[in-house]
Amino acid sequence: MQALYESLLRLFPRSYRRQFAEEMIAVFREVDADARKMGNIVTAKFYLREITGLFRGAIAEHAQRILGSPAPFPLSSRRFTMRSGFRFPKTTALLMTVILAGIILAIQKAEEISAALPRDIAPAGPMWAPHVGILTTIVLTFLMVYVAGALGWIILFALRRSGVHRLSDMPTAQRD
């Protein structure tokens, strides 16, 4: 089966094979060994998934080379399409919500402690105006985070479009 897998890799563009073929073969060997230990049905499913994935991937790579940019491709599915980029785990949203709730509770507790102190003590540092409450602070914080995120996205979008990432793929001049 490995010989068939290696021959199907020839369907990919040459530059893609040079960059990824060895790693793809090594991963195939590892997963193949694991699948064989689990039985014939698991191994057959693995082979079918890999063969269809190779065909889809090769067609998608050729389409990308022709069109010049990744385009939505009807044969590719999210399951078989590898995307480079960082993605947060799904638990991150829950963790951030818990942290935000903790911060809100800490601020409320600090306001209670501040209200319980006698008023004849001089302030220790700069204080917010009395009309600025917790809701205003939260809204301002979200607004600042949103603006910072938008600026970061704009910078990353501009860098992706600039072609700087293609410099590593450029052939170097050979000196004799």
Q: What average pLDDT does range 84-110 have in this prediction?
A: 85
pLDDT value for 145: 95
Q: What is the pLDDT of residues 24-83, one digit of tens each?
A: 888 888 888 888 899 889 889 989 999 888 888 888 888 888 877 665 555 545 554 555
Q: 117 pLDDT exceeds 60?
A: yes
pLDDT value for 65: 82
Q: What percent of the chain has pLDDT over 70?
A: 72
Q: Which two tokens stand for residue 150?
A: 């938008």
> Which residue ranges make up each domain of the chain?
2-67, 91-118+130-165
pLDDT value for 124: 67
Read off the pLDDT band of 169 (50, 70, 90): low
pLDDT value for 104: 95
List C-alpha distances in Å: 143 to 137, 139, 140, 152.
10, 6, 5, 14
Q: 14 pLDDT exceeds 60?
A: yes
pLDDT value for 125: 66
Residue 12: CB partners within 8 Å, gap ≥ 6?
A: 20, 21, 57, 58, 61
Choose the weakest-confidence range: 20-24, 139-143, 160-164: 160-164
